A and B are shown apart, each in its own frame.
Chain A
Amino acid sequence: MSLSVLNTYESVAANNVKVWFKAAPISKFPKNGGACIKYKDKQIAVFNFTREGTWYACQNLCPHKMEMVLSRGMIGEENMEPKVACPLHKNTFSLKSGENLNGSLDAIATYPVKIESDFVYVGFSE
């Protein structure tokens, strides 16, 4: 896995969405947990943060060791900031800004999510 793959992930702001990708029905995503979806060549982790009543999406790639694993991580919060913990070495990332909360790794890319008629849509800029 090389850096070039990492570089294909860039955060998309809600007002920058060009494509709303219809990913999967909400039943595919466990409560307070995540699952991975594929969009073009990208792997995107989508989290159903039921306790907050919010959905989040980010790259599935952990910038620490470049493995496609974040969707399998536990989610939670720290000082009100929603976060995901990488299952491999427990680096945590904000689900909002993508920032690495317990270290100095690069931020991960985050994507907007919307729900329409029980379907999960993830927003991309291309």
Chain B
Amino acid sequence: MKTILVVGNGMVGYKFCEKFVAKEESKQFKLIVFGEEPRPAYDRVHLSEFFENQDAKALEMAPAEWYSENGIELIVDERVADIDRTNKTITTAKDREFFYDHLVLATGSSAFVPPIKGVEKEGVFVYRTIEDLEGMLAYAAKLKAQNPNAKAAVLGGGLLGLEAGKAVMDMGLEPHIVEFAPKLMPRQLDSRSSQVLQLKLESIGLNIHLSKATNQILGDDGYITGMEFGEDDVLDVDMLVVSAGIRPRDELGKNSGLEVGVRGGIVVDNKMQTSDSNIYAIGEIALYNHMIYGLVAPGYDMAGVAVDQIIGKTETLMPSEIDMSTKLKLIGVDVASFGEPFMPAAKGHSIIFENKTQHLYKRINVSLDGKELLGGILVGDASDYSMLHQIYLNGMPIPEDASQLILPASEGSAFGSAMDLPDDAVICSCEAVTKGDVCCSVLDDGNETMKDVAKATKATTGCGGCKPMVADLIKESLKTLGKTVKERLCEHFDYSRQELFDLAKLKGITDYDTLLDEVGTGNGCEVCKPAVAAIFASLYNETANRQETIQDTNDRYLANIQRNGTYSVVPRVAGGEITPKQLMAIGRIAQKYDLYTKITGGQRIDMFGAKLNELPLIWEELIEEGFETGQAYGKSLRTVKSCVGSTWCRYGMDESVSFAVEIENRYKGIRSPHKFKGGVSGCIRECAEARGKDFGFIAVEGGWNVYVGGNGGATPKHALLLAEKVDKETAIKYVDRFIMFYIKTAQPLQRTAPWLEKLEGGITYLQNVVINDSLGIVKDLDDEMQALVDSYVCEWKEAVETPEIRERYTHFVNSEETDSNIEYVALRDQKMPKEWA
């Protein structure tokens, strides 16, 4: 039996063990691992989490038992001191000797401490091990006991330095970052993004000092009191964390005559072999391509290569190009860079979006022909990082106008779905998990939750940056399984919305608590509450006023909550038809309450900026003027948009306004799985955009064409033709049934367009149901719709007239004051809420 010795039990040393025991061939070897630190390998990447809970166990890569259970001998707290290459032995600091056939060096790096005068002083730390953090915590606690305003500086404004800066801030010390370069994160960011990052960090309280070369560390009694950058340029600090780069721990290599780089690191080839073919080096000690890769992902790959080489799978080699994309975590601000963040003008073009007021900077670099994404930088909002990173890694096609990839207005829409990625796209680079692995884990192995998939594939267990994308893949894969997967509303109801709808109806249950007690479990949540509220509304046309605490906030207060916690008010203007007198009334009331007014896309008037306590007062006046609620807040009918039609238009084939008014009044107040809208055009010129609505009517020679399942918004879709050239009564009947069928069978928050898309058999099936009565339910649908139409009440009238409901509209229950937090700025003769910080 051959012996493998691994020196260093860090992240990569551990990964070597993990990958090794997974191989059948490992049985033919004996594996002994030496670690200098007092505990088994832990997750250094998430080291900062130690500040939160001081739970070293939680960071462990695997507990000590794992090693013995897998036949690995783990010797911690014992440094390897020497290698004797001729006799193939090593000696430890405790003077024990071990023989090897293969030796793997995974000694990693230590923090680099520049030779500045005074760095040996007490209060100067590095940021690398759990012991370092324990030392910092103890010292910070001591400082704060003496002086609550104690300050701490971090030397180095790179990736790690900023993380350390956040850590000292969280320890309650005044944080300062001191950087030698004229910008933060000089290796990953260009100067503009660096400035944006600086603004953001300053806004959360970090003090940043750039272009500072530290001459000496000040302090008389052996502990630090300040840093000196030049004459008269001094920063008083009580603690310092040095984060000025890393130094490979290559002592063993040097002393035994292995080839090392000029600036350190043990030279390896693409087999991870050093200049001695029995000795391998992996992780942050290995100098590959003249570089030390200070990231875990390449280290993990190296571990895999070394394992394969040793067990004889010599065809496994380290790729020559290594992805250095990074996403900064923890600091409370999104920063990411990928591919080629800086772009030499000869290679391509850059597209830059910058908004300093929101601390936002996005840059992408595309090839000269505009077809390929080469790299980029994201500061302030890195939510698109995963997708952009994937497009870059897989050389996927990008939109002709590449700016869509970063422009805020088109977010999401330019990307298509994560399912479009090739199966071998690496989603989790820390653990090298591909899209195929994630999807198979769902499709073939039956995992359904993030937790299970993470356990099975290890995806997301590294830096965690891939979580959103993994979540998407799980969701999408589950969807493709269609009916075999049980739709479950949430942890409280083991039913789909449709099942719950039928259950509530069958059992005649009318309140949430009873439903939860009878067919659910636990105490509910923000997913099932509004879904159930909508079911009750559709079943009994109950307004949102009765069970107000299960409603979404908009329904609970019968108004749309806006950015700053105020509300908007929208009275119904059926078909967009409004009298001059009504216009004046709205104008008068808006002026009285100082509301911002705007015409909506649905042909009515929105008044913004009403405080909670003003809502009933405003509505009282509106109702007096003959208005009703427009239900702009509800998952219900919004508007029926119309063109003027034959009443005024020379092309008009029929009276579109009259039809729109009639139909809007018919469906008003009906609550549904999601909002729905209608449109009526007087001829095929389609000025009312009826085919962009959930239902639409277009006047043609000989009657009305009826369309359903259209959508504007984020995923525009033209409505499909349900019936042609029918008279008005028939048109209404079909749409009645369509809406009712949708209400009963859709998922929560599913618009009619995706509902129709998912409906097996599509529009033909729908035609069969509503026109040919293939399910034998049209009588029910007709009756149910008529019941809803007949039971309409204006819920605002109900609210204004009922003292108990009116009472809900106060900001404080123990004070008459209003929210002093609301701030406005002027905007073109009106006002708008102050920007979000």
**Minimal Cβ-Cβ distance residue in A for B823:** A1
- Contact check, A79 vs B491: say whether CB atoms are below 8 A apart: yes
* Per-residue A-contact encoding for B796-831, CB less than 8 Å = 1, 0 else: 000000000000100111110101010100000000
- Contact check, A36 vs B812: say whether CB atoms are below 8 A apart: yes
Q: Which residues of A contact B836 (CB under 8 A)?
A: 65-66
* Per-residue B-contact encoding for A56-95, CB less than 8 Å = 1, 0 else: 0000010001111100111111111011010110101000
- Contact check, B817 vs A83: say whether CB atoms are below 8 A apart: no
- Contact check, B522 vs A68: say whether CB atoms are below 8 A apart: no
- Closest beta carbon of chain A to B562's beta carbon, Å: 9
Chain A: how many interface residues by the 8 Å CB criterion?
43
Q: Which residues of B contact A2 (CB under 8 A)?
A: 837
One of B249-257, B436-444, B552-560 contacting the partner: B552-560
In the complex, what distance in Å separates the CA atom of A69 from the CA atom of B552? 13
A residues 1-30 touching B (CB-CB < 8 Å): 1-3, 5, 23-24, 28-30
Among candidates B203, B525, B530, B813, residue contacting A28 with C-beta atoms closer than 8 Å:
B813
Q: Determine if A123 is an interface residue (Cβ-Cβ < 8 Å).
A: no
Among candidates B204, B524, B552, B823, residue contacting A77 with C-beta atoms closer than 8 Å:
B524
In the complex, what distance in Å separates the CA atom of A29 from the CA atom of B812? 11
Q: Determine if B548 is an interface residue (Cβ-Cβ < 8 Å).
A: yes
- Contact check, A67 vs B549: say whether CB atoms are below 8 A apart: no
Known: A37-B813, A51-B523. A74 touches B529 (CB 8 A): yes
- Contact check, A92 vs B526: say whether CB atoms are below 8 A apart: yes
In the complex, what distance in Å separates the CA atom of A86 from the CA atom of B411? 23
In the complex, what distance in Å separates the CA atom of A16 from the CA atom of B332? 29
Among candidates B492, B552, B564, B817, residue contacting A38 with C-beta atoms closer than 8 Å:
B817
Q: Which residues of B contact A61 (CB under 8 A)?
A: 821
Q: Determine if B219 is an interface residue (Cβ-Cβ < 8 Å).
A: no
Known: A51-B523, A74-B526, A76-B529. A69 touches B549 (CB 8 A): no
Among candidates B513, B526, B565, B814, residue contacting A67 with C-beta atoms closer than 8 Å:
B565
- Contact check, A67 vs B564: say whether CB atoms are below 8 A apart: yes
In the complex, what distance in Å separates the CA atom of A29 from the CA atom of B506? 32
- Closest beta carbon of chain A to B810's beta carbon, Å: 8
* Per-residue A-contact encoding for B520-560, CB less than 8 Å = 1, 0 else: 00111111111000000000000000001111110011000
In the complex, what distance in Å separates the CA atom of A26 from the CA atom of B62? 50
Q: Which residues of A contact B524 (CB under 8 A)?
A: 32, 51, 76-77
**Minimal Cβ-Cβ distance residue in B for A25:** B813
Which residue of A32, A77, A80, A82 has the most chain B CB atoms within 10 A of its CB atom?
A32
Q: Determine if A52 is an interface residue (Cβ-Cβ < 8 Å).
A: yes
Q: Which residues of B contact A51 (CB under 8 A)?
A: 513, 516, 523-524
Known: A30-B549, A74-B552. A36 touches B811 (CB 8 A): yes
What's the count of A-B pairs with C-beta under 8 Å? 110
- Contact check, B565 vs A69: say whether CB atoms are below 8 A apart: yes
- Closest beta carbon of chain B to A51's beta carbon, Å: 4
**Minimal Cβ-Cβ distance residue in A for B816:** A38
- Contact check, A49 vs B526: say whether CB atoms are below 8 A apart: no
**Minimal Cβ-Cβ distance residue in B for A54:** B523
Q: Which residues of B contact A32 (CB under 8 A)?
A: 513, 524, 549-550
Known: A28-B813, A37-B813. A43 touches B553 (CB 8 A): no
In the complex, what distance in Å separates the CA atom of A67 from the CA atom of B566? 10
Among candidates B525, B550, B813, B821, residue contacting A29 with C-beta atoms closer than 8 Å:
B813
In the complex, what distance in Å separates the CA atom of A89 from the CA atom of B513? 25
- Contact check, A38 vs B557: say whether CB atoms are below 8 A apart: no
Q: Determine if B205 is an interface residue (Cβ-Cβ < 8 Å).
A: yes
Q: Which residues of B contact A73 (CB under 8 A)?
A: 526, 553
Among candidates B332, B513, B525, B812, residue contacting A76 with C-beta atoms closer than 8 Å:
B525
- Contact check, B523 vs A76: say whether CB atoms are below 8 A apart: yes
Q: Which residues of B contact A78 (CB under 8 A)?
A: 491, 525
- Closest beta carbon of chain B to A125's beta carbon, Å: 16
**Minimal Cβ-Cβ distance residue in A for B527:** A76
- Contact check, A76 vs B814: say whether CB atoms are below 8 A apart: no
In the complex, what distance in Å separates the CA atom of A35 from the CA atom of B332? 29
Q: Determine if A33 is an interface residue (Cβ-Cβ < 8 Å).
A: yes
Q: Which residues of A contact B526 (CB under 8 A)?
A: 73-74, 76, 85, 90, 92
In the complex, what distance in Å separates the CA atom of A61 from the CA atom of B819? 11
Among candidates A33, A68, A87, residue contacting B552 with C-beta atoms closer than 8 Å:
A87
- Contact check, A68 vs B813: say whether CB atoms are below 8 A apart: no
Q: Which residues of A contact B530 (CB under 8 A)?
A: 74
- Contact check, B821 vs A43: say whether CB atoms are below 8 A apart: yes
- Contact check, B812 vs A77: say whether CB atoms are below 8 A apart: no
- Closest beta carbon of chain A to B444's beta carbon, Å: 27
- Contact check, A24 vs B549: say whether CB atoms are below 8 A apart: no
Q: Which residues of A contact B23 (CB under 8 A)?
A: none
Q: Which residues of A contact B516 (CB under 8 A)?
A: 51
- Contact check, A37 vs B553: say whether CB atoms are below 8 A apart: no
Which residue of B530, B552, B812 has the most chain A CB atoms within 10 A of its CB atom?
B812
Which residue of A5, A67, A80 has the most chain B CB atoms within 10 A of its CB atom?
A67
A-B residue pairs, 9 tightest by C-beta: A76-B525, A33-B549, A87-B553, A85-B526, A28-B813, A74-B526, A67-B565, A24-B814, A35-B813
Q: Which residues of A pack against B, CB within 8 Å?
A: 1-3, 5, 23-24, 28-33, 35-38, 43, 49, 51-52, 61, 65-69, 72-80, 82-83, 85, 87-88, 90, 92, 106
23 A–B pairs (Cβ distance < 8 Å), ordered by A: A1-B823, A5-B821, A30-B808, A32-B549, A32-B550, A43-B819, A51-B516, A65-B563, A66-B821, A67-B563, A68-B565, A68-B819, A69-B561, A72-B556, A76-B524, A76-B526, A76-B527, A76-B529, A77-B524, A80-B522, A87-B552, A87-B561, A106-B332
A37-B814, A76-B492, A106-B332 are known; give 14 further A-B pairs, CB within 8 A: A30-B549, A36-B813, A51-B513, A68-B565, A68-B819, A68-B821, A72-B565, A73-B553, A74-B549, A75-B549, A77-B523, A82-B523, A83-B525, A88-B561
